[in-house]
Structures are given as C-alpha cells and as structure tokens.
Amino acid sequence: MGINNYKNEDKLIVAVDCIIFGFDKEKLKVLLIQRAFEPEKGKWSLMGGFLKKNETLNEAAQRVLKNLTGLSDIYMEQLEAYSEVDRDPAERTISIAFSALINIEEHDKELQQQYSAQWFSIDSVPHLILDHDLMLERAMRRLRYKTTTQPVGFELLPEKFTMLQLQRLYEAILGKKLDKRNFVSKINSLKIVKRLEEKDRTSSKKGSFLYQFDEARYRKNLVSGFDLRF
C-alpha cells in the first residue's frame, strides 16, 4: 500500500485512560477526577487524555497522569483497548487502558492542592463517564488475579511488616475477609517471607513478629509456581 493510499483511510482519535489503584494501610482505593470538558463535563472519570502525534502510548499515559495529578515516574501496565463504535458520543475514539498500584502515603505530597484528583474507596466509587466503569471492573479483576499468581503489593508495605499488615493488604485487594490461620499457613508454605527476631509492639505489649519479603527465595522457588488462592 502506497503512502497516498493512507488518505483514503478513516482517521481516528486515540485516548489513554489511567486506572491508579492506591493502598493506605487499610483500604484499596482508586484515583478519580471530575471531567473538565463535554461530553459529561463535571462527572467523575479516570485519568484520561488524548495521544499526540509525536508520542508513544506509554509517553501519553505518563503525560496525562502528570498533568492531571502531579504524579510522575509511576510504572503503569498497559491493559487492553476499548473500541466500541459508540463508546464516546463526541467522536470515534479508541482508548487504551493503563493501570498502576501505588502506596498512597508515599505519593501524597505529589497530589498537591492544585490538582483536583481524589481517592475513592473501591467499594464506594461513583458512577463514571463513558465506559470507565467497565475499565475499572476489568482492571480490578486483573489485579485480583495477579495477586494470586505474583507477590503483588509487597512494595506497598513497610520494609518490615507484621503478618496482620500483610493480611490486610490482601483482604483489601481481594475484597474479602481471610481466615488468619489459613492465611499465615499459606504464606509460610510459599516461603516468600522471612521472620525477623524483631517485634512490633505498637499494638500490644507482647508484640507481633516482623517479616520481610525475601525476593531471592521467591525467585529461587518460582519454578514451583506461585499460588495464593484462598
């Protein structure tokens, strides 16, 4: 096909939408913003914007996120494309969804007052514009699946953490309560954490042993598989 033949092809708009999950020691949350233009101006939205001619999709996602939230250098995974013909009533637009999981406390300073993005608990998210509800639902499903096959989320915890803190993280992501004994037994069987001879005494005099994620042991045992289904 010659260059001139491109003139006969339809021109489409490409958008990127960023689904930013955050954990605040207790709850899993998602970052939303009120849309600044029509259609559906003023309604809650994911972090979205349009691809420019001189950008890759990853560059566009980083730019959009930075402009809307102040967050930068956030690793985002490209998820999937949304291409329903009528998904955007304003123009024929294809959107590529990206997702990230971050520690809210570590990035709180970047979300300065000049930005209007807000955190919402994953169980109290308002109705979102266009097909963003579907994007969020699928991203949550993917995150929960990854949690059972990879040590997702350990970077959201302190370097030294209690087993209860780890359990709360998994409960927040999975959206359900876990039996303490079963959880501890499962984690110990995977041999991905090591117990330290230190205790956290902030919650009781007796204290709780502290643990660390053992990345070297995780990689060594990776061939045997990682299964954290409850």
Range 3-149 classified under CATH 3.90.79.10 = yes
Q: Quickly state the pLDDT bin for 113 (edges 50, 70, 90).
A: low
Q: What is the pTM of this model?
A: 0.90
Quote the CA–CA distance of 53 and 79 in Å, as a whole number: 21
Helices (H), the chain: 57-69, 104-107, 132-149, 163-174, 180-190, 215-220
Say if strands 93-103 and 13-23 run parallel, antiparallel, or are unpaired: parallel
Quote the CA–CA distance of 160 and 63 in Å, as a whole number: 33
DSSP 121: E
Q: Quickly state the pLDDT bin for 6 (edges 50, 70, 90).
A: confident
Name, in order, each residue with C-beta under 8 angstroms of 213's C-beta and a sequence gap of 6 or more.
151, 154, 157, 192, 193
Q: Where are the domains of the chain?
A: 3-149, 154-224
Fold of 154-224: Arc Repressor Mutant, subunit A (1.10.10)
pLDDT at 105 over 80: yes
Q: What is the pLDDT of residues 150-169, one digit of tens each?
A: 888 888 998 899 999 999 99
pLDDT at 49 over 90: yes
Percent of the chain with pLDDT over 90: 63
Contact 96, 3 (CB under 8 A): no
CA angle 31, 37, 42 (to 5 degrees): 55
